[in-house]
Amino acid sequence: MNDAKLDFLKELANIGTGHATTALSQMLSGRLFQLVVPDAQMLPFAEAAEYVGGAEQVVVGIFVVVSGDVKGHMAFLLPLDSALVLLRLLIGDNSGEMNELARSALQEIGNIMITSYLNALSKMTNLLMAPSVPGVAIDMAGAVWQSVLAGAQVTNEVTVIRTEFFADGESIEGNIIFLPDDDDFKKIARLLGLGEM
Amino acid sequence: MAKTVMITDDTAFMRMTLKNVIEKNGYSVVGEAGDGEEAVALYRELRPDMVTMDITMPKMDGITAIKEIMKIDPQAKIIVCSAMGQKPMVIEALSAGAKDFLVKPFDAERVVESLRKIGS
């Protein structure tokens, strides 16, 4: 992949997740909550699952279908360990159990992460990108990928943006997955003056 | 008497968060709806002073619910609380009759400020 495209993805990730992180910090009662975006990649579908922890790691996936001027699929995937840290900080739940409230908190976090990213992209391109009601899956990464990608054009390369948060000295890993339909990715790139990608 | 508020959001976590903020600031939460359909039915029954409305929800989305509630009560005071803050969506919500639009995640002060402004 060319450097311009990668820079573009990283910049997008910074803008999209920056806003969400500020507010997540507020949701965590002002606890220090820093974000770094250490890595953004475009990967063939088969490699993407491996990149996000390997097919057998248990992960939490929050996923949506995107409609409007840009169509595609998006997801926020985080390892179960990270999800449990987040739940402890967010709702004070130490049980490690996935009850209804825990599940809905994760759904909302995923929704906010995904939508903030889409909002940033929409602002830069003037295109509407509306997410569906998020689905939530907790399973081995391989199975979660199947849920995320149900109906997606799997010929596409998958954009994976790895994010890392730090709260109360603990690290929380998350991965934002963006799969616009082929034509729509080109549309976004053109509108942002990046030429043919 | 405390002003009454109905909360509409499809996640229990967000309903809980909003409820805490709203009740801490002297308002009374009289109902909670998990989708647009429920919101319309509950509005008809409860006639709250104000409503918070999510946009992306199952069964009936928030925009449709705003339109339906405005049909029941053209004076309804609806505040959108949604992550979906893209311009066309904000414009659609406001022209459907919403009085304010808060983009999630929001801070508590912003919610209270909106309730004060819309409720007065």
Which residue among B12, B57, B85 places its CB closest to the CB of A119?
B85
Q: What is the pTM (predicted TM-score) of this model?
A: 0.86
Q: Is the pLDDT reported for residue B104 higher than 90? A: no
**Could B105 and A100 be called an inter-chain contact, meaning their C-beta atoms sit closer than 8 Å?**
no
Percent of chain A with pLDDT over 90: 17
The complex's ipTM works out to: 0.82
Yes or no, beta carbons of B105 and A27 under 8 Å apart: yes
CA distances from B115 to B24, B26, B85 (A): 13, 11, 19
CATH code of A119's domain: 3.40.1550.10
A108 lies within 8 A of chain B by CB: yes
Q: Return the exposure string of B14-23: e unless at least 16 CB atoms fall within 10 Å of the residue's CB, then b.
A: bbbbbbebbe
How far does CA A70 lie from the centroid of its chain? 17
Per the model's pLDDT, the better-predicted residue between A117 and A102 turns out to be: A102
- Which of B86, B101, B106 should be substituted to probe chain A, the one whose Cβ sees the most A Cβ atoms within 10 Å? B86
Domains by residue range for chain B, with CATH: 4-119 (3.40.50.2300)
Range of A13's domain? 3-190
Which chain B residues have a beta carbon less than 8 Å from that of A67?
none
Number of structural domains chain A divides into: 1
Chain B hits for A131, Cβ within 8 Å:
56, 84
A195 in any annotated domain: no
Is the residue at A65 inside a domain? yes
Tens digit of each residue's pLDDT (9 = 90 or more) over B17-64? 899 999 999 999 999 999 999 999 999 999 999 999 999 999 999 999
Q: What is the phi/psi pair of residue A82, to 5°?
A: -65, -40
